[in-house]
Every structure is written in structure tokens, then in C-alpha cells.
Chains A and B, each alone.
Chain A
Amino acid sequence: MKENSLWKDAFRRLVTDKFALGSLLIVLTYAIVALLAASGLIAADWAKEVGGSNLPPSTEHWFGTDIFGRDVLAKLIRGTQIAMSVGLVTSLIAIPIGVILGALAGYFGGWVDDVITWLYTTFSSIPNIMLLISITMILGKGIFAVYIALGATSWVTLCRLIRGEVMKHKEREYVQAAEAIGGGHFRKLFIHILPNVTHIVIINTSLQFQFAIKSEVILSYLGLGVQGEPSWGTMIDDAKLELSRGVWWQLAGATLAMFVVVLAFNLLGDALRDSLDPKLKGK
């Protein structure tokens, strides 16, 4: 009989699901656009005046131009770079903290668990929006503060999930077997248990990205996010005043760009959960 690993199985389930495959492709496209924008290959001259002020969409400028005659599509691409970078950086902050603390709490229990549980209860006791506002206000406006604020608020969910899952795993036979052959705590936890809970990290990251993107847009709208560069949030803020003059394309562009990627991350998150955690299928 041919052996199928969990990952192979999961991958097969994922690619046979048309929605999931589509979402994955969308996410990859956004990631590539973000990378190209970051390396300056596309949309580097977004600030250049390319036409008249507030031109409606045309074949030349797909999403029209803004009040300063700048191409809205180029601004959207810069915004994509900001949005994806926020998702990536906050995940890079949240995953190590959440996984390590969650694993330690779940594995060791006792006072370690008490301290870590206290820590995340404390963090989750401050409503997210207040913590985001406070941190961005204190660190000063800008993308750096957004990274820190979102990173500081989003490790909690992951930590809680990993803790619960590690608790379930630590009594299983395979962990006892690892102990029997002389594996220490470190070996049991990081070599044996953690690989079996990574699916939680992957599912969570997909949802983390869409949360980060949505939050960045709101923080930027409030004027706390990126400064001097276009973000979907600041574009929506600009559009607020333009809408009554019939200039809808900047709002539509930013909303559409965000809708597509957030939808893709949502669908992908659901599909990943279905394929990596089949007992939850269809819920």
C-alpha cells in the first residue's frame, strides 16, 4: 500500500477544492505584486502626475486618477505592498511568541502554565482596538507602530490554541514512546509534539493575514498607519470627501483590492482547516 502522509493528503484535498485553489492563486498573485512593488519594479513612480485630476477609469488608467492626477492603480499596488507586509510582519511577530509560550504552557503545566495563562489573559483583557490605538499613538504614527501593535495583539489567539492542542498531545502514546527511548523534555516537545500541531499555525496564519490587513486599513484610515505613502486605508479616507462629487473609483478600487484578498484568505483559511483537520469538515 502506498503511504500517504498527512501533508500529502492535505495538499491533495486542497488542490481538488476549486475555491481553495483559486484562493491560493489569488493570495500568491498579491504576494508577487507586493514583492515586485517592494523591489521597485512596478508602481515605483506612483507619485508622478500622469493625467488630469480625477479622471474616471479608462483603458489608459484602469482605476482612473486621483485628485493630483496620479494613477489609482499604481497607488493600489503600493497599498498592496503595505497590506501584505503588515500581514507578514505581524505573523512573524505573533507566531514565534504564540507557539513558544503556548507550547511551554501546555507541556509543562503547573506554574509555567499559570504565568503564561495570566499573561495572555492580561493581554486579551484590553480590548483590541484600545490596545491598537494606544500603541500606535505612543510609538508615533507610522507603519512600524502598526507592526508592533498588531503583533502584540495577535499572538494571544495562537498561544491559546497551541496550549490546548499541546495539552491533548502530551499524554499520547507516541510521546510516551519518545520518553521511553530516553527523549528529554526539549526533544519531546519540539521534535515530537510541535510538528503535530503545526496545522494550527498554518490555519491561524491565513486568518491572521486577513485580520492584519483589515486592521491596517482601519488604522491608516484613522491616520495612525503609513505616512506619505498610499495605503488602502488612506485611499478610502481621501475618497470620503470625493464621493459626493461623484468620484467613486478610488473608493471602489481600494475596497475591491481589499475585498478580493481578504475573501481569498478567508476561503483559504476555511479550506486549510477542512484539509488539515478533516474532522471539522463542512462546518
Chain B
Amino acid sequence: MIKYVIRRLLYLIPVLLGVSFIIFVLFNLVSGDPTAVLLGKNATARQMAELREQLGLNKPLLEQYFDVVRSAFTFNFGTSWATKQDISQMIVQGAYPSLCLTLPAFVFATILSLVISLVAAFYRGKGIDLFVRIMCIAGVSVSALAYILFFQYFFAYKLGWFEISGFEYGFPDFVPYVALPAIIFVLLSLGPDVRFFRTVILDEIYQDYVRTARAKGLTEIVVLLKHVLRNALIPIITYVVIQIPSLILGALLLENFFSIPGLGGITLNALNSSDFPVIKAMAILSSVLYILLSLLTDVLYTFADPRVKLK
């Protein structure tokens, strides 16, 4: 087990180097000279040269690449071009509102989806199952933008049940601000989640061991919960854990619509002000997180299914 984790950790190195390389190519090679953008039209050649020096753009390429790699370990991303703040500081500040919104919504959405897909699998082929399938496929076909616009307009603006936008720090204070975006988050997740979980559960339900379990007289509910669900857990764990990096990123659009000052908001602001280091930092951070979480899923497999021998 420990040996496996170490080997998996070692495999992270080439992947991390690869990710850093893509980010380096995009931001350091393709993006061109940012000094003209930063200093505006009236910049003198001297100012530009000074700024280039300051931003580390005069360094040899290899060194610039290693700067990217290093930042993936130290989380030292430098300062933002637009706000002049320390980027890691900005990220720490932004993480709080983002997580207030996405974490409860994510947990709730996952549980609810699992329950719905178990019910659908229980009544497979019957009316309820058909209804769930139709709702899912219709649900995923509507643009996320349309949901957000409509819900914000109707429930916050028209009915006034929720705050239209903004955020307050501290526990009970943020609830009215994140409640509506969280509900929309759950609705947006239900379609794809239920579709996936249902498929995975039905994949198992026609296996021989399920027939055996029924043959020995177990009720359908026990079969579903004790036998089928346990075997369907592996793809479900993978699916759920892999989504976490996008949680940290915040529901980008939701934060934008509801003016929640989270990481999604930071990313979009950076996008609008061509703040390259911030976007670069977000790209590195979310990738590192993804890589670590994929390691975690592999380890979780062994708990979900002892037959998985980690080689």
C-alpha cells in the first residue's frame, strides 16, 4: 500500500512537468510580450525593458520553465498585474466564498443524485425511471446560463426570496447570498450526475452475482444497496472526486452572476483585465489539485473494493 502510494507519487512528477510545460508554452511562449498591454500606448522602450526585467521575462527560457514548475510546489505565484496583490493571498481570500457556495451544494447534489439514480434503477423501465431519464436529458440540454438568468430574475428579483447579489463573511450571514446559487448548482449537477450514476448502477444490475443474490431470497432493496451499490462505487468515486478541482475554481458563472467574490470571480476579473499571472496561477493550482485528487481516488479504490490490488 505505502509502496503503491510512493510509486503513484513518483508518477506525479512527469505529469506535473508536463502540465507545467503546457502552461509555460501557453503563457511564456505563445502569449507574446505583455509589457505593451500593461504599460499602455505611451510606454517608452526603456520602461518596457525595465518591466520585462521585473517580470522575469528576460531570463533564459529554461529558467522561466523552472519558475513555473517551482510555483507548482511552493504556490508562490508572484503578484497580480492588475491589483498588485500577492496572488496566493488573493487565492486564499477567494477560496472562502467559493467553498461556502460550492461545498454544501456539491455534497447535497451528490447525495441527492445518488438517491434519485437508485430509485430510478429500482423502478428501471417503469414510469418513474422514464421520467427521470427524460428530465435528465432535457435538463442537461438547457444552457447553464439560462437556468442562472431565469432563477436569479424570478426568485431573487421578482419574488425577492433571496439576495440578488453580493456576499457577507461569517456563518449565518452568507446563507441568504449563497442559497440561490447553491440551489442552481444542485439543479445543474443533477442531470449529468444522475445520468452517470444510473448507467453505472444498471451496468452492475445485470451481472450474475446480482442474480445469485436475488436467488437466495434477498429483497430488491438489499440487493441494490448492499450488492449493486458497493460494486458501482468505484466509477462513482472517480466521477465525484475528479469534480473537486472545479469546485475550488468555484462555480465560475454562478459567482459571476451573483457577484460572489470567490475564485471564479477572481478568474473572470483577471480574464477581463488580461491579468496573465492570476490565470496562470489558477491553471497551475487547479491542475495540481486535480493530480493529487486522482491519486486520492486510486487509494480510495482499495477501501471501496478490497479486490483492487495496488501493484
Interface residues of A (CB under 8 A from B): 118-119, 121-123, 125-127, 129-131, 133-135, 137-139, 210, 214, 217-218, 221-224, 232-233, 236, 239-240, 243-244, 251, 254-255, 258-259, 262-263, 266-267, 270, 282-283
Contacts and interface: CB of A to CB of B under 8 A. Distances in A.
A251 B147 CA distance: 11
Given A118-B15, A267-B137, A127 B249 contact: yes
13 contacts: A122-B18, A122-B21, A126-B19, A127-B246, A129-B252, A134-B27, A135-B26, A138-B31, A214-B144, A222-B268, A240-B149, A255-B146, A263-B141
Given A121-B15, A258-B143, 17 more contacts: A118-B14, A118-B18, A123-B22, A126-B283, A130-B287, A133-B267, A133-B279, A134-B23, A134-B27, A138-B26, A139-B30, A222-B271, A258-B141, A258-B142, A259-B141, A282-B202, A283-B203
A129 B142 contact: no
A221 to B, nearest CB: 6
Contacts of B145: 217-218, 221, 233, 236, 255
B179 interface: no
B75 interface: no
Given A131-B283, A244-B153, A218 B22 contact: no
A133 B138 contact: no
B140 to A, nearest CB: 7
B34 to A, nearest CB: 10
Contacts of B280: 134
B149 A283 contact: no
A264 B135 CA distance: 14
A243 B156 CA distance: 13
Given A255-B143, A263-B141, A125 B282 contact: no
Interface of B: 14-15, 18-19, 21-23, 26-27, 30-31, 125, 137-138, 140-146, 149, 153, 157, 199, 202-203, 245-246, 249, 252-253, 267-268, 271-272, 274, 276, 279-280, 282-283, 286-287, 290-291, 294
B287 A127 contact: yes
A223 B272 contact: yes
Contact of B143 (A131, A217, A283): A217
Contacts of A239: 149
Given A122-B19, A133-B267, A283 B137 contact: no
Contact of A122 (B22, B125, B138, B142): B22
A133 B14 contact: no
A8 B282 CA distance: 49
A214 B18 CA distance: 28
A139 B286 CA distance: 21
A266 B15 contact: no
Contacts of B137: 263, 266-267, 270
B297 to A, nearest CB: 13
B141 A134 contact: no
A251 B18 CA distance: 41
A121 B298 CA distance: 14
7 tightest A-B contacts by CB? A122-B18, A263-B141, A255-B146, A262-B141, A138-B31, A130-B283, A127-B286
B83 to A, nearest CB: 17
A214 B290 contact: no
A28 to B, nearest CB: 18
B19 A125 contact: yes
A173 B145 CA distance: 51
Contacts of B15: 118, 121-122, 125
B156 to A, nearest CB: 11
A268 to B, nearest CB: 11
A244 B157 CA distance: 8
A282 B130 CA distance: 11
A85 to B, nearest CB: 18
Contacts of A258: 141-143
B102 to A, nearest CB: 13
A126 B286 contact: yes
B246 A129 contact: yes
Given A118-B15, A121-B15, A251-B149, A129 B249 contact: yes
A232 B271 CA distance: 21
